[in-house]
Structure 1
Amino acid sequence: MTLPWALLLLGKVLAQDTADQGCLVPPAAYNAALGRPASQSSVFANVSIAANAVDGNRDGVWQHGSCARTLTEREPWWSVDLGGRRAVAAVVVKNRQDCCWHRLRGAQVHVGDAPAERGRDNPICGTITDAGPGSLSTVCCQGLPGRYVTLLIPGREDTLVLCEVEVVLHGCLPLPGAPNVARGRAVAQLSTLNGISLAANAVDGNGDANWERGSCAHTEKELEPWWHVDLGHRHTIYAVTITNRRDCCWENLLGAQVHVGDSLANHGKRNPVCGAILDTGPGSTSTICCNGLPGRYVSIIIPGREDFLVLCEVEVTAQSCVPPPGAQNLALRRPAAQSSTASQAGSAINAVDGNWDGNWRHGSCSQTKKEPEPWWTVDLGRRRTVAAVVVRNRLDCCWHRLKGARVHIGDSLAGHGTNNPVCGTITDTGPGSTSTICCRGLRGRYVTVAVPGREERLSLCEVEVVEQGCAVLPGAQNVALGRPATQSSVLDASSVAANAVDGNRDSDWEHGSCAHTMEEPEPWWRVDLGRRHVVYAVLVKNRHDCCWERLKGAEVRVGDSLVDRGRRNPVSCGIITDAGPGSLSTVCCHGLRGRYVSILIPGREDVLVLCEVEVIRQGCAVLPGGELPANPHPPQAPRHPPAHPLLAIAAPNVAREQRAMQSSTSNGSGAASKAVDGNRDGVWQHGSCSHTRREWEPWWSVDLGGRRAVAAVVVKNRQDCCWHRLRGAQVHVGDAPAERGRDNPICGIITDAGPGSLSTVCCQGLPGRYVTVLIPGREEQLALCEVEVYSVFPEL
């Protein structure tokens, strides 16, 4: 829903220095070649591999390492596999600009289903006629269908150099499982209207569009107000979705621009414009297609006028995927093998030991000898559905070796797994880079990483294989059990709504434990959780004695509204796609908030049958060893209940009475050590809270005394006043000490900052010696009335 002028701007950006052969890049164009497997007739040195032409980098200087290049040979070619048959609107080709640009003149673009070297047999889309320095040629294909796009120089001996190839499809295609990479990230805005209008509200996962409920960012009225989010590192941005205010003043957002890039100069205004907001109705949701625009920062700015900027939620969809909280690493400590081993220190098993250290000399990276097409593979033990593969590159040297490596998933070990389908290609290979390759449900027992088409060493410092969906953690609490439920109609007395929350998964309807509506238009069922919960997942048990296919396409919604059977709730958690006999579908909600969970069959007349519905609250797993209070207090202090119903922890609080530091101390009674004294008293005057001075980005840190795998961090807020100050505070875990704690990975962000709130931030085993709490991007005071750290494993 971008403005027409914004779409024209996008077209002009793509068309600059371009030989436009009769087509404009269509609105919401999608680059289907980005990161896809590529091959070429030969390789001029290992720095000129085919993958360079689909890495998202249009740098036209060959020496900078982002151009594909063949040897000088007869009719050289290059080809990309789009992964499936596509209707191609246009192919955009970036030429070399430092020398030899004339070589590309006359190159043909072919589109069809014949792969690689046979690409010349596919239909010709067009020919490149403009081959000036750094030229950007748009070749129009008018919807020509095919899986492979091939460029070749016909009829002569020459070198083929391609600095980027973009294959444009029509529209902003949906990306199943695509992540919101903005959620919980560091944010800032030009000003803040009041204590409930913080910048962090726009990335808290709550799409409530009523500003008074405290989940919208809101600036003061000023000239060209701005808001931006730091995604932590450079992402390839697919789309930005913005939820507008609905209780009033929604027109303020009209014309707001979305910028994406790596610069914070002028608050991101100098970064490229992805698009602008045109639809500004009450509570409107605008999706701006960015089509692979790369950047670390996403900024939203109202240009050229004085106004308020109100954002109730900002979701940034990346073309890669980020594993959700609690995602299970299927590869951890599984059997692994590789084509060769450089030395005893480079064993294949090092890449699945759970240690992300990128320094090869520290002994936690695999490494092969230098050889043609080296490979590494892990056996998951059985066939799994893979959402993503995360690959950690070497940090100390030689990181470029991983560029172009392919990730394969399948059930065959033929060719050491390289005959299995390709999930994706690694294109980002900076020092210590972490590449997330989205596999979107590709199934297989074996995951293989291989470097195709050249002699190389393969070094992997960690490989994680993330299962599709979300793994419900052991001991997770079902908050729907026994709660009041209702449905659109009842078939008979044995089919009431309460049957679906009775704790019985028996899926034979005749046994009397399934809810069952009559056949009617859009039947629905709903449970009242009693209060607002943060929902991790919803499990739905289907009928197995008959008619199981009826559940297919049912929507699961989470929210606080009862209007229109829960349809007005801001976000659908997911859709049930597996509707086999007695199927158990896990729909991942990843922290959606709401009091009501509704299941409805949209758009058709049908029967809704549910044999059990379990609503799993966000939280951490119960740890082995039984149930003990999360915070044992001294005898004279009152005991408190566990920090979280899902965090009944027998393991000790490893932060208690450890050495703590902070950026400053407000006075003698606010020492850092007060936050690890074992006392959760939230009244600062009682002398058990740490407290900094008011300063820019205050921090507090605890030294655990050794490296730990951290399961969760529990933070007790002040309850007598000023509790809002803690909102947006980041929790970091890692090996960088005290004042450098901001360099450690972020475990999570505190979004609930009510009076005396007790926030449990789940770290899922993140390793590190230091835990740091800091308030980013603003001047504030940091007060902590207790910080508890729980470890799932012994010292690392």
Structure 2
Amino acid sequence: MFTFSPLVNLALRGTATQSSITGSNYHAKCAIDGNKASNILSFSCTHTQFETDPWWRVELLAVYNISSVVITNRGDCCSDRINGAEIRIGYNLENNGNNNPRCVTITSIPAGATRNFTCHMIGRHVNIFFPGVNRVATLCEVEVYGVPVNLALKGTASQSSNYESKYYASFAIDGTTSSDFSDMSCACTNNEMNPWWEVDLLAMYDISNVSITTRGDCCPERINGAEIHIGNVSINSGTKTPSCAVAFNIPAGASVHYSCNMRGRYVTISIPNVSQFLTLCEVEVYGVPVNLALNGVARQSSTHLSIYSASIAIDGNKGNNITFVSCTHTNLEFNPWWELDLLKEFDIGTVIITNRADCCPERLTGSELYIGNSSITSGYSNPRQYLTLCEVEVYQRLVNVARKGIATQSSTFTSSYPASRAIDGNRASILSYYSCTHTAGQVSPWWRVDLLAVHDISNVIVTNRGDACAERLNGAEIRIGNSLLNNGNINPR
């Protein structure tokens, strides 16, 4: 069992990288070494080359609700170089993570001083981005504080039965740990043999911890003997998945955390071999997405030297200096290629490639990424080139939670354009195709989707009308929250 502390510097266990390096002593990791020494000669500060839009990034071990980022500036010289730098936080590595949402633009930090920036944002990647020409990124320490994100909130829950047809499985992943049964925030089965509850996380994760909150107003002994199982098949498959823990003697209304360190998509809680109610007031699941590439088999068109084999790009090591033997390398040849067999079919959402940093980054220019169910075939007429990859990661796709929601809007122009058209899965942008919404002309119109559960929302994607009137979307605000006051339009922007 464990507790989460928002006072732990998450960056210390992360992996840092930066756009370039000056000298051999000013690595990206110097900003997460726990040393706030601010003299560059202490070799505890980072330093890039003078370049356009330099950046520094730390990848955290999981997705976190990040409350604050703390930066220590260089003290011996050049403190103004931090001016205008942007803190960006998110999930995306497009443009090296510099397109993620911005927390703040730093106006200035005095020489050698440490400043705390409040963010309250969700993400795994924290970037310090220095926009502009002929700039240097120098950081003497970066600290990141926050708490893990509960993966269960994005999942789909089910259970063996619903007590009184109203204590649904989804109540245990609604984001509230209220333990009073009358608050209608607890899941509960009937009194039955082998009751069970399960959450489908919708993708495979390396699950570090599972937390259970029990009923507080009555009957804490009912949870005794409940087993937590984690695996890649549902309980309905009839296959028993590996066990993480067995619950006993949890105090009424308490939240207890179990360390699991297991991999899976389904988290199941069941009470075997007895007739009992299963009541859960909240279940939380913490972990990180699984890099599918780590379990795959890699091959390439040729190998320059035996130490640069195809498998090195899926060894989990993002080292980008080829002399450290963590990059692949083909011969100089026509149509070089590298390929990964994931061994079974997945719905791929993200592929992350780490390029070589010590030399020759342009060699990756013009490379093409293909995803499918057949192996590579020849016939391309590309120029002769080397292919070098320092790491390739593959992750499953995020789920569009709007598809299962209920949409409403302030008015409907005609019955052909209801609010539900915007979550029908069809991105057709011509109004006459009847896949767009349309309100009447009115003051402050709005559209809303109820996701039916609380979610940690990473992205909202909007497709605009394409045949006319695109400017009508100008000035629209995306607001997200749990309040329906003013039809939800006072939630945070």
TM-score by length of 1: 0.24
Bigger strand fraction: 1
Which protein has the larger Cα radius of gyration, Structure 1 or Structure 2? 1
Between the two structures, name the one with larger relative contact order (CA 8 Å, sep ≥ 6): 2
TM-score by length of 2: 0.36
